[in-house]
Structure 1
């Protein structure tokens, strides 16, 4: 059965499930494989629970014509999703980058939702399973789609853009993350750049670019359409620009349209001030990206300001949390060298309240491969130079560093300490890779 026939079958049964525990009546079960499971083994059970068909790639499980045998179920999933995406002649925005992907996606969604019906990736469903699932949620009511794309190995972005077929795209930045999978920083740059490579191949492909990031600028070629944004007030006329006004600790900033456009239209009010609910001066780039996208799609400046002022971060990303005893800056969803340094730089700038002191609880940065020891020691050395005294380091990698800061084997050891000695009147930065589970700490602080 070719992809056209498979897609016709999907149109008759427009629900694909990859979880044999969730089998809506008349749906299609698709047997994915993982390191510890084989969906083919659950196909029969899925049919018994109500699925109309089961797509499998193991001929030994096929028992009747309700089983559809393919070469590779994951590739078939992508093919069906791509065919579905092609039914909609709408803008599709692809987003990738080392840091800030999800926050930028959510900010862009907030801005565009002021004017359009927007489909966006939920959570961080940004891999080769999550992207097809997102695309299959497209309906005729949607006017724009925002597809987040993650990568941990060379070629990952190429695979995802060939599935999603974006019409425009944005790389937030490139940094030293997932080095275990990429092999080197150059591998990170090349893989993220696969989004640009795809858009370059399209006649009207558009890139939204941080003009302050030399790595991203160097990826561009003269034949590419781009909309730049910058935090340099003296940038060239073509840039949407912005600058941080304060960060105490919530970020307040101002932005303006390109100077050339303002001069042509005779606009009297050049700067727009916005008070956000975001922690971290580093979020200025994510905010400007959302503004650039909004302006490109005709969202009014007042609508843009409204969206950014009312966006509230969730999921342990750049959140300010007030407890009975402390104020917390919670950024515990992910961590790599560049995001850790940015968080610490911002933490240094945040002013404490009267009677309050600063404290940091930092967890390991995962998937750095051979560079892990060096990168963790760099963070410890940065901390020593900052003058910050009360620091708890959590995890095996930080445990190997040369420092007198307090070390804990894991989050459970931290919890045990908090049961005995709970900090009070502290401004506490909680930052670490999701696998260190520091997101469990705020309720104890």
Structure 2
């Protein structure tokens, strides 16, 4: 990786290790820092990375993945208690650093944060964090060298890898922090990250697998609130925070901000907001937005539909303004922003018989909060067309004891959109069907697609929305292939 921060000497001294092979013998040009974690999406070990092996079961996996990568320039960091088991690793002809402790990743992240003179921005929220992070990256990277999360990875090890991999020429870091690991608090993560700027996008029910699940929605919201506001912990001097004024438990959040940060601002449609949303409309495939800052009006457009996306853009514009970028610079940079695949993106295709189909793709995730925003947005963009919903259960975030009641109540929200047809999958959606008997329930993708292709006649909008475990990405890709062929 160009401008790599790490040298063999710094790693050796920091981790109190000893080189089995010294890097000078093999060349030194490492890329990202990489570890393996339980129950998360893991990057591959590669010969051009700093590969940290923390468990004995990872030794053979590291050997196979690095061998297949056929790349060099990196190294392996491994506990010295595994020295007798590294005979295969020696065949890779990579430098190996033997270390006495298992905390190499945390130590490297802390050391890199201390050495970093730029600004670190943290983003969290039940919904919207990936979009806000992407918008901020689009704006800041138009002028500065900026690091953001790889892919949609936002667990503790993910963000520590990103921070430890920070190049020497980076000026800003924008990291979203998720709440998806059991027994891992956001406070643990920001204690290492030490943000200069923190953004809380939203608070809603979800992630009950990561925090204590209780019987009532109110108690669950309180649990999410207490977890998400930890994003304001451990902030450095001259700290700044921004939140939307329509956030759930707004007064509670503000009380925390008053005690935690030096300065905070709000964005939204209230008179007291620093960035005020005056008007918004979806027109000609654009989300046209009119805002006011210090009584001066500005207009810009983004390709992502929905009011929630407009609010997300206000959060990004507000932070950019605080950093010193003009609204015109931000609005120009936002033209390059596009919703990530599976996160309320629009896919337009023409099928093999000439019918025009627009897929509102929410296949990546689903929470009660994101689903409500998706319904509102779909209702806006699909006016005048046949509307078909394909919904999977909201289970990725484990709604706890409210799993059944939520899926039953979902019927009320679906009726408000006036779908022409509703297709559903997933065990929890059986509760939904009891409240919405006109829905079609399916056990597999092929049967659902067969029924769909028989039922719609002309141009239409399809809404796909489900939690990731439902694998609606496969459904989406299969459906597109069937439509085109």
Report the 3-state secondary structure (helix = DSSP H, G, I; strand = E; otherwise coil) of the residue aligned with 1:135: helix
Match of 2:206 among 148, 168, 177: 177
- May I ask how many residue pairs the two structures share in their alignment? 423
1:216 Cα deviation from its structure 2 partner: 4.5
1:398 Cα deviation from its structure 2 partner: 0.7
- 226 and 390 in structure 1: CA distance in 2 versus 1, 3 angstrom threshold: farther
- 225 and 31 in structure 1: CA distance in 2 versus 1, 3 angstrom threshold: same
1:307 aligns with 2:333: yes
RMSD across aligned positions (CA):
3.1
Match of 1:24 among 39, 44, 47: 47
Distance, in Å, in 2 between the alignment partners of 1:105 and 1:229 is 17
1:7 Cα deviation from its structure 2 partner: 8.1
- 419 and 311 in structure 1: CA distance in 2 versus 1, 3 angstrom threshold: same
**Contact 2:202–2:248 at 8 Å: present in 1 too?**
no
TM-score by length of 1: 0.85
Q: Which residue of 1 aligns with 2:188?
A: 159
Q: Deviations over 1:250-299 (max 9, x none)?
A: 4211112134xxxxxxxxxx211212100222212211001101100111
Q: Deviations over 1:75-111 (max 9, x none)?
A: 4212212212221111000111110111110001111
TM-score by length of 2: 0.78
- 23 and 113 in structure 1: CA distance in 2 versus 1, 3 angstrom threshold: closer
Distance, in Å, in 1 between the alignment partners of 2:34 and 2:175 is 20
Q: Deviations over 1:297-354 (max 9, x none)?
A: 111221111112332223222212111131222122110111111111222233534x
Alignment of 1:296-445 (within 5 A): 296-324=322-350, 325=355, 326-353=357-384, 356-366=385-395, 367-401=398-432, 402=434, 403-404=436-437, 405-418=439-452, 424-440=458-474, 441=476, 443=480, 444-445=482-483
- 131 and 426 in structure 1: CA distance in 2 versus 1, 3 angstrom threshold: same
1:168 aligns with 2:191: no
Match of 1:96 among 121, 124, 139: 124
Distance, in Å, in 2 between the alignment partners of 1:120 and 1:56 is 29
**Contact 1:70–1:76 at 8 Å: present in 2 too?**
no
1:107 aligns with 2:135: yes
- 162 and 394 in structure 1: CA distance in 2 versus 1, 3 angstrom threshold: same
Match of 2:267 among 214, 225, 230: 230
Q: Deviations over 1:340-373 (max 9, x none)?
A: 11111222233534xx311111111122222111
Alignment of 1:118-267 (within 5 A): 118-152=146-180, 153=182, 155-182=184-211, 183=213, 184-199=220-235, 202-219=236-253, 220-223=256-259, 224-232=261-269, 234-236=270-272, 239-248=274-283, 250-259=286-295
Distance, in Å, in 2 between the alignment partners of 1:246 and 1:304 is 19
Q: Deviations over 1:12-33 (max 9, x none)?
A: 66454447964316x5431245
Report the 3-state secondary structure (helix = DSSP H, G, I; strand = E; otherwise coil) of the residue aligned with 1:323: strand
Distance, in Å, in 1 between the alignment partners of 2:159 and 2:403 is 29
**Contact 2:34–2:52 at 8 Å: present in 1 too?**
yes
1:117 Cα deviation from its structure 2 partner: 1.4
- 80 and 7 in structure 1: CA distance in 2 versus 1, 3 angstrom threshold: farther
